[in-house]
Amino acid sequence: MLKADNVTLGYGGRPVVHDVSVEVTEGGVGLIGESGSGKTTVARALLGLIKPMSGAITYGTRDLNALGRADRAAFRGQVQPVFQDGSEALDPRMRIGSSIAEALDAHHRLDRAARDARITELLESVGLDPALAERRPHQLSGGQRQRAVIARALAVEPDILVLDEPTSALDVTVQARVLDLLASLASSRGLTYFLITHNLAVVDRLCRTSQVLFAGRVVEAGPTRTLLTRPAHPYTAALRDAVPKIGGAPPKAVGKVEAAPATEGCAFQRRCPLATDVCRTVRPVAREVAGRNVACHRAEEVVGGQISGAQGG
Ligand code: SF4
């Protein structure tokens, strides 16, 4: 339904994401990478907030960036963002109930009684006491605020949620509960997720397929479980090893993070303990290896366990 085809994205004419293709399909898609990899830029493009420098983003059969005003409003009703913490989505001056009512009013015509009933139902659906409708965002805990953001996104009955690190601002226990909620909403409401995160364990809960982004390029893509259990790219292996569980810290120690991506050959070479001469001169092209696409000259050896992945820096 929502698709990016070979998009190059950037700011001020400078590309930061190169030739990325994503198809947001049933079962969910995860985009994994550390801070600065370009994943938020891809999410912004899929939300129609930035236009691709090349390639196309389509919603159904139509170019997202050529939608008229009415179609764009319909798109916003069907594809909703949920950001890292509630502060972007919830006006700090508004009560939670009013924030949800605002989203409802933008897409539905309801009388006051029906609107109040819907707010109650939405708060209950995300496990919140409806009495919290009277509170303001700062009077809620981090977990309650993120549930309120999800309730607000659900108010318009979307098909797709674009989740940007939806649990990384939460403590471990609350994080697990919000993930449980998202997993149950996916099945009960037929929601599809496009999830961006640094954490392979989080994506494993919510997305059937995943892509790993390094320095603005997809280095490995395939079934999430395959990537998690038998990574074929040293960067995926390092992410997996750096963040083994839900609640792990961001993967600051994946290779020598201070090393800038190389512009010739493989971008990951300066952080990869497996780099050889060919890695320094020839950019690896994505190819199929053991049930996924991977851009690494030594993918067969990595997936076969003959050599281990990148080590901590
Ligand atoms: S082995 Fe070579 S191609 Fe593969 S990730 Fe390391 S540097 Fe890149």
CA distance 51 to 64: 9
Whether 270 maps to a domain, the answer reads yes
Which atom of ligand 1 is least distant from the CA of 233?
Answer: 5
CB 85 within 8 A of CB 170: no
Choose one of 218, 239, 269, 287 to mutate for the ligand 1 pocket test, by most ligand atoms within 8 angstroms of C-beta.
Answer: 269
Whether 312 maps to a domain, the answer reads no
Whether 73 maps to a domain, the answer reads yes
Instruction: State the residue range of the domain holding 102.
Output: 2-303
Paired with 54 in beta bridges are 8
Which residues have CB under 8 Å from 196's CB, separation 6+?
Answer: 30, 31, 32, 33, 39, 40, 42, 43, 162, 163, 164, 165
Q: What is the pLDDT of residue 200?
A: 81
Whether 233 maps to a domain, the answer reads yes
Q: Assign residue 29 the CATH number of its domain.
A: 3.40.50.300
**Domain total in the chain:** 1
Whether 313 maps to a domain, the answer reads no
69-104 pLDDT per residue, tens? 888 888 988 999 988 766 677 899 999 999 999 999
Whether 308 maps to a domain, the answer reads no
Which atom of ligand 1 is least distant from the CA of 297?
Answer: 3
Q: Which helix (H) or strand (E) holds 58?
A: strand 54-59
Whether 141 maps to a domain, the answer reads yes
29-51 pLDDT per residue, tens? 999 988 889 999 999 999 999 99
Whether 309 maps to a domain, the answer reads no
Binding site membership of 82 for ligand 1 (Cβ less than 6 Å): no
155-193 pLDDT per residue, tens? 988 999 999 988 877 777 778 888 888 998 898 888 999
